[in-house]
Chains A and B, each alone.
Chain A
């Protein structure tokens, strides 16, 4: 199915679409308020962008520096070329400690690698401890947003889910009570956790530390209670120095939710006495993307989700319509790198309005990359044949002024004299599903102009 087909399913529930759009627009507005209040915000964006550009241009250097510093701190560093290697490394570490109970805080990378199914298949209990993640884990759904993974669900949906999985009263949709139920449930899991897996927001090359930003403190709870901490990171998470970090923490949450900073910004540098800390650095297509000059900048992404909240398409089609771990505009420029055929419709799921580019805290030229992916996809034969041939035909008309004039006249005549039911047949005219065609004038502008010239 294409993005458009999946969107049509989402759109069937018009009220829910309105609710989804308004919920995310509210987040976008909170972001605006936070941004307007900070006079230097645009300077911070520029600085964040430059730091990321610099880091990507010397990524090999910073990766080695990071590994050396982390190793000096007593952390064990692992390298994974792809998702399978990553999953094997993590499973191997869990098995080495004869552990079966894993708690995991939010990590889009482990979603990308499909770590959970791999661990479960191998007899490991893995519990997502971020509340939103835990909800969708119970429902066996994928996250629909990078920061707000369960944003597609209403409190009624959560009430139903908790009734089934946590035994809350049927019909209890009170957010306070539902949160308390989740808290009690997760507390047990935290206490029982033998291995804690976390994501990484920033990895500091200079110090070898990883920084994890959460609002729930679940990463800290998990890591501090378990014997082993495994931090999983994409190789693009690096920043050079500790002093660069504040640039990112200042833009990250303002862009994401409008908060000045996440509730918890935790630095993990070395294992506590008697414990182990591991970092798994994952490529999984990132080197390939780094090698594409037009799309390299997509690796600057710090996963704030602002492009999703602002995207008028995402807000009305929902995160699952993208069928990729990272939805929305940024997902649409990351996904074709992973599987061009499967995700061929995503770069077309945009009006190219440019709002994504304008909110991006690290200044990724998202809408330009969407445009460029379209060119790549067409060149690789990944657009529908009907589109390809109609564009060829259109071009041959539009590069010949005489043919264009004639064609235009014929189309207008057709529209004027054919019955409305035919010109607006929904079966073959998608425009007419919700819109009237323009009323065709008797004269085109050029015909009028020519007539005027003759009169003169």
Chain B
């Protein structure tokens, strides 16, 4: 494809691809879609292989002291990049918000400040406003809490009735795509990291309720910006053998650009 002038500038940007541990191990196709999508938009992202995880599983369990070596590994891995881009709002939020317990050296500050969620990066750094393509399905958009309430990537129903957000705007440009109007636009899916096993009953019930909302309102493809929520919801959908396909939004957008 042809590169525009701004896309050529994007090529010079040094971007580190952050593929969270569970995406790396269980959803390689999401990592591939992220890499390819960035490439199509003129960004050659590099995947430094000494990366592992953001440390959130330990920290959310109360063991953030144990996560410190993991934080340092993250910072050391990504310190030389202009931007660190990952397809997971929750992990990005963790780096930006909770890496405050290690020494705030210039490299730590640099990494925290420039770690960006994929769609936030596309819109606010690359200036992407729409992605031409078609996706003729009824799409249920799951707003992940850490992307929405943590990184402010979408309006919150606690503040305003207007249902707007970064990912919604990007997906709106797809031809044929119709959004599911959910009864509860931004209720948590119940994944919650280690919550999903330490409070397994409530976690499952929350996920089942979210899935029912999508089924009731006709979702064909369930998508979002955070694979962790989607992994949990997909687990429930597959257990129930429900006719809903789960895709990370990077897969939809990457598939649309030819």
Contacts and interface: CB of A to CB of B under 8 A. Distances in A.
A449 to B, nearest CB: 5
B207 A434 contact: yes
B256 interface: no
A125 B70 CA distance: 60
B58 A316 contact: no
B202 A391 contact: no
A430 B200 contact: yes
Nearest to B17: A449
B235 A392 contact: no
A394 interface: yes
B67 A411 contact: no
B63 interface: yes
B99 to A, nearest CB: 13
A351 B192 contact: yes
Given A395-B63, A401-B49, A401-B50, A431 B235 contact: yes
A316 B205 contact: yes
Given A348-B198, A408-B25, A443-B28, A21 B209 contact: yes
B69 interface: yes
Contacts of B12: none
Contacts of B202: 4, 7, 11, 313, 316-317, 349
B208 interface: yes
B27 interface: yes
A78 to B, nearest CB: 39
B158 A394 contact: no
Interface stretch (B112-120, B132-140, B183-191, B217-225): B183-191
Contacts of A358: 149, 156, 158-159
A350 B192 contact: yes
A140 interface: no
Contacts of B79: none
A348 B24 contact: no
B19 interface: yes
A46 to B, nearest CB: 13
A383 B61 contact: yes
Most buried by B among A312, A388, A401, A404: A312
Interface in A383-442: 383, 387-388, 391-392, 394-401, 404, 408, 411-412, 430-431, 433-438, 440-441
A401 B61 contact: no
A435 B32 contact: no
Most buried by A among B198, B209, B232: B198
A436 B246 CA distance: 13
A326 to B, nearest CB: 19
Contacts of A4: 198-202
Contacts of B257: none
A452 to B, nearest CB: 9
A7 B72 CA distance: 37
B239 A401 contact: no
B126 to A, nearest CB: 22
